[in-house]
Chains A and B, each alone.
Chain A
Amino acid sequence: MSMTQNFWFLIIGLLFSIFFFLEGFDFGVGMSIKGLAKNEAERDSLISSIGPHWDGNEVWLITAGGALFASFPMWYASLFSGFYLILLFVLIALIFRGVSFEFRSRMHTDSGRNIWEWAASIGSFCAPFLLGMLFTAMVKGMPIDKAGDISASFTDYVNWFSIVGGVAVALLCLLHGLNFIRLKTTGELRQRALAYSKPLYWVLYAGEVVFAILVYVYTDFFTDKPLSTLLILVAIVALSVIDHVGTLMDHEKLSFFSTGLTLVGVVVLLFNGLYPRVMIANNPKFSILAADASSSPYTLHIMTIVTLSILPIVLVYFIWSYWVFRKRIQTKGVSHAE
Chain B
Amino acid sequence: MLSSGISIVFLARWQFAMTTIFHFFFVPFSIGLGFIVAIMELLYVIKKNDVYKQMTIFWGRIFLLSFAVGVVTGLIQEFQFGMNWSVYSRFMGDIFGAPLAIEALAAFFMESTFIGLWIFTWDRFPAWLHCLMIWLVSFGTMLSALWILAANSFMQNPVGYMIDPKTGRANMVSFFDVINNYQLKMEFPHVIFGAWVTAAIVIAGMSAWALLRNKTKFTDFWRKSIKVSLIVGLIASIGVIAAGDLQTRYVSNEQQMKFAAMEGVYKTTGKSAPWSAIAGLDTTNHKTKWSLDVPYALSMLTYHKTTGAVKGMNEVNKTLHAKYDKQFGKSVNYYVPTKTLFWSFRVMAISGGWFALVSIVGLWMNRKSSESILNQRWFLYVLGLTMWLPFAANTAGWLITEFGRNPWVVYGLLTIADAVSPNVSVASLLTSNILYFAVFCCLGLVMIWLAHRELRKGPDDLASLDQAVIDPYAKEAFSK
A residues at B contact (CB < 8 Å)? 44-45, 48-49, 51-53, 55-56, 58-59, 62-63, 65-74, 76-82, 84-85, 87-88, 91-92, 94-96, 98-99, 101-103, 106, 145, 147-151, 186, 295-296, 298-299, 302-303, 306-307, 310-311, 314, 317-318, 321, 324-330, 333-335, 337-338
Contact = CB atoms under 8 A, between A and B. Distances in A.
A49 B171 CA distance: 45
B101 interface: yes
30 contacts: A49-B472, A53-B116, A63-B105, A63-B108, A70-B101, A74-B90, A77-B82, A77-B90, A80-B86, A81-B82, A98-B75, A99-B72, A106-B65, A106-B450, A106-B454, A148-B90, A296-B164, A298-B172, A306-B98, A318-B113, A321-B113, A324-B117, A327-B473, A329-B472, A329-B473, A329-B477, A330-B477, A333-B472, A337-B468, A337-B469
- B contacts with A: majority SS: helix
A333 B105 contact: no
B86 A149 contact: yes
A102 B64 contact: yes
Interface in B148-191: 164, 171-173, 175
Contact of A78 (B69, B86, B101): B86
B432 A303 contact: no
Contacts of A102: 64-65, 68
B104 to A, nearest CB: 4
Nearest to B91: A73
Given A52-B120, A337-B468, A62 B450 contact: no
A321 B117 contact: yes
B69 to A, nearest CB: 6
Q: Which 8 A-B residue pairs are closest in the complex by CB-CB distance?
A: A73-B93, A80-B82, A70-B97, A52-B116, A69-B97, A66-B101, A81-B86, A48-B472
Given A51-B119, A87-B79, A148-B90, 20 more contacts: A51-B120, A51-B472, A56-B116, A59-B109, A65-B79, A67-B101, A70-B100, A77-B87, A84-B83, A84-B421, A88-B435, A99-B443, A102-B64, A299-B94, A299-B172, A325-B120, A326-B478, A329-B474, A329-B477, A335-B467
A296 B475 CA distance: 52
Given A85-B431, A99-B443, A66 B100 contact: yes
Contact of B105 (A44, A310, A328): A310
B121 interface: yes
Given A74-B93, A102-B64, A310-B102, A56 B472 contact: no
B127 interface: no
B71 A98 contact: yes
B428 interface: yes
Contact of A73 (B71, B94, B104, B105): B94
Interface string B116-150: 11011100100000000000000000000000000
| SS of A interface (majority) | helix
B423 interface: yes
Contacts of B435: 88, 92
B477 A56 contact: no
Nearest to B440: A95
A85 B69 CA distance: 22
Given A62-B75, A66-B101, A295-B93, A79 B108 contact: no
Contacts of A98: 68, 71-72, 75
Contacts of A52: 116-117, 119-120
Contacts of A69: 78, 81-82, 89, 93, 96-97, 100-101
B83 A87 contact: yes
A71 to B, nearest CB: 7
Nearest to A95: B72
Nearest to B450: A106
